[in-house]
Amino acid sequence: MAIELKDYLTIGISLAAFGFAIASFFANFRQRDLENRRTLRKTLTDIIAEISKVNIAHAQLDLEHPGSTRPHVIAMRRNFNGQRRYLAYHGEFIAEQIPGLTNDIDFVAIATAFDSAGDFERAKRYFNQAVEKSPSNTLRATNLRALARFSFMQGQAGQGRKYYETSLQQELPDTDSSRRFIADTLLIWACVERDTGFTSESLLIKDRAISTSGRIGNPAAREDMMKTINEALPPALLPNG
């Protein structure tokens, strides 16, 4: 039986309608997926902000009650750590849903929250991810400093020193800003060495910080950095001081 022209038209229209329906379906699916990802990104941003608020509140508590063992202070510290742990797990879940929309700041916040909550395995994982996500050498150097300090606090001084050295080896422009950044990194390193009982190493790193500060061209910036170093690490707190 011969197929008439109208039959061809009917088939053509049906195929076009089917194609349009499929295209609309995928367009709507893509739009919903995009909106869902945006919602998840906003949720993660809110979680990171909440972690920052808890960190500030905890720091304020320690400032007002340094070393206090009063029951209500201890209870508040535990409450803050509980909040950070909850937020960290929630942030981890959301971050895994949108890997392409996360950044190094997200991972540093999640890492510090896990660190404070005592989940050191997860903390290390997210400190490392922060380094991997770093969008520039300066930010990679900054995130390596955080990983280095974490390693020291875990009793892994040797590993911490390697991370600090790697941070210092990042290629940065030869400017006063970079020299100050490097001197600041050395100062942070020296303080961590001192705080973890390595006073001789602290003195050596302090000398490197002073040497780097001496390369800062701007006199006011140079003197300010020198003053910062000597106030943070006065001779009386170091060997032979």
240 — pLDDT class (breaks 50, 70, 90): very low
Does this model's pTM top 0.75? My answer is yes
CA dihedral for 93, 96, 100, 103, sign (positive or negative): positive
Residue 20: its pLDDT value, please?
A: 63
Mean pLDDT value across residues 189-215: 96
Percent residues over pLDDT 70 in the chain: 85
Whether residue 241 is predicted with pLDDT greater than 50 in this model: the reply is no
Residue 32: its pLDDT value, please?
A: 77
Q: Are 130 and 111 in contact (CB under 8 A)?
A: yes
Burial of 30 (0-12, 13-18, 19+ CB in 10 A): exposed
Residue 236: its pLDDT value, please?
A: 60
Angle at 154 between CA 152 and CA 155, to 5 degrees: 65
Whether residue 122 is predicted with pLDDT greater than 80 in this model: the reply is yes
Residue 12: its pLDDT value, please?
A: 67
Mean pLDDT value across residues 43-72: 93
Residue 21: its pLDDT value, please?
A: 66
Residue 1: its pLDDT value, please?
A: 46
